[in-house]
Amino acid sequence: MSVAALITIDTELSAGRQANGLPVEENLRQSVLGETAAGAFGVGWQMDRFDRHGVRGVFFVDPMPGLVHGPEIVARMIEPILARGHEVQLHIHTEWLEWAKDSPVEGRRGRNIGDFSLSDQIALLGWARDALVQAGAPAPTAFRAGNFGADDRTLAALEALGLSWDSSFNPDYAGRGCAISLPVAASDPVAVGSLIEIPVSGIEDRPGHFRPAQVCALSSREMSAALDHACESGAPLFMIVTHSFEMLSRDRQRPNRMVMRRLESLCRHIAREPRIESRGFATLAAPRTGRASSPRLGPSTVRTGLRMAEQMIGTWRYERRLRPA
């Protein structure tokens, strides 16, 4: 049995930078296009790597800035993705309601989608779905909550709107924003009514501690080992997370080449391993549900230690503020 590997990219403008007064054009350049003095390392750079290795990218796009800056900003976010043949699905950061000109929920606000009533969640998700479609995207079939901040009502709202997939359950956020009623050990797809919940994958990097399969969180060695372990343990699917801005330093002023190397290595591993199939939701067959969760890759002192050393060096090289000459 092959493992379906999904590389998902949460694609969003920064609400924090909006709050600090950053112009929307600059927010788009930093957060989605990844433009720096050294070049562009956002969604275009990522798609270059996907195309080079025959990997499909799934871009969870947040249309909520359209409430503030108009529908054209949503179109500009999705156009380069659709032009390259990659997949657009639905994402939402409800922080943008703070600046909304016309709110779908009559001015009510909340940091996460799970902070709202069921009826408000249906209204917000319905508006966001329609905004993507009006901007030119196919009707989305999958969703991920911003900040992984969904709850069980979110799944009911998605089911009511006819979506098929959700990937908002991240065990790393369980109890701190993510309120979906699944055990932390859940790793395989779970049927919730007519919806299928696909947890974010990950490893146990030390006893009892989950670390998500996020490009900035796992080393290339850990990610490859986790994928190989998924193949060997019979897992049906492996869900990987990154962001449109994740190839940049935290201040989004320069490329983080450590993270860039990790994405390149991930794509290369998927392309070379015949037991792994790159998938998007559009080509994903309904996976097995109702079985015991596949075991995650267990801890390794060597792998964890090497990643911590790599992270320390990467932080020093790419995150420190360089003084001008």
Cα separations in angstroms, 174 against 180, 183, 280: 8, 9, 25
Alpha carbons within 13 A on the beta-carbon side of 226: 30
Q: Which domain holds residue 249?
A: 3-318
Amino acid in the structure at residue 227: L
Q: CA-CA distance, 77 to 33, in Å (whole number)?
A: 9
pLDDT at 245: 98
| Res. 321 pLDDT band, cuts 50 70 90 | low
Q: What is the rounded average pLDDT of the residues 269-273?
A: 98
Q: CA-CA distance, 31 to 12, in Å (whole number)?
A: 7
Residue 324 main-chain phi, psi, to 5 deg: -65, 145
Q: CA-CA distance, 255 to 246, in Å (whole number)?
A: 9
Q: CA-CA distance, 205 to 262, in Å (whole number)?
A: 17
Residue 11 main-chain phi, psi, to 5 deg: -115, 115
pLDDT at 322: 52
* Structural domain count of the chain: 1
Per-residue pLDDT reduced to its tens digit, 61-101: 999 999 999 999 999 999 999 999 999 999 999 999 999 98
pLDDT at 324: 40
pLDDT at 320: 75
Mean pLDDT of the chain: 95
Give the rounded distance of the alpha carbon of 77 from its chain centre: 15
Does the residue 324 lie in any domain?
Answer: no
Q: What is the rounded average pLDDT of the residues 185-201?
A: 94
* Residues in a beta bridge with 278: 5
Does the residue 191 lie in any domain?
Answer: yes
| Res. 293 pLDDT band, cuts 50 70 90 | confident
Place of tokens 């994402």: 91
Q: Is the pLDDT confidence value at 196 over 90?
A: yes
Q: Is the pLDDT confidence value at 113 over 50?
A: yes
Place of tokens 């000459």: 325
Q: Is the pLDDT confidence value at 164 over 80?
A: yes
Does the residue 297 lie in any domain?
Answer: yes
Q: Concatenated DSSP letters for 281-308?
A: GGGPPPPP-SSPPPPPBPP-HHHHHHHH
Q: Is the pLDDT confidence value at 46 over 70?
A: yes
Q: Concatenated DSSP letters for 169-192?
A: --GGGBTTTBB-S--TT--S-EEE
Q: What is the rounded average pLDDT of the residues 198-217?
A: 97
Q: What is the rounded average pLDDT of the residues 102-115?
A: 96
Q: What is the CATH number of the domain that holds 152?
A: 3.20.20.370
Q: CA-CA distance, 157 to 192, in Å (whole number)?
A: 12
Select from 282, 286, 175, 273 the least CA-distant residue to 224. Answer: 273
Q: How far apart are the first and last CA of the chain?
A: 56
pLDDT at 325: 33
Q: CA-CA distance, 109 to 124, in Å (whole number)?
A: 11
Q: Is the pLDDT confidence value at 291 over 50?
A: yes
Q: What is the rounded average pLDDT of the residues 246-250?
A: 96
Q: Is the pLDDT confidence value at 257 over 60?
A: yes
* Residues in a beta bridge with 166: 143, 197
Q: Is the pLDDT confidence value at 16 over 60?
A: yes
| Res. 323 pLDDT band, cuts 50 70 90 | very low
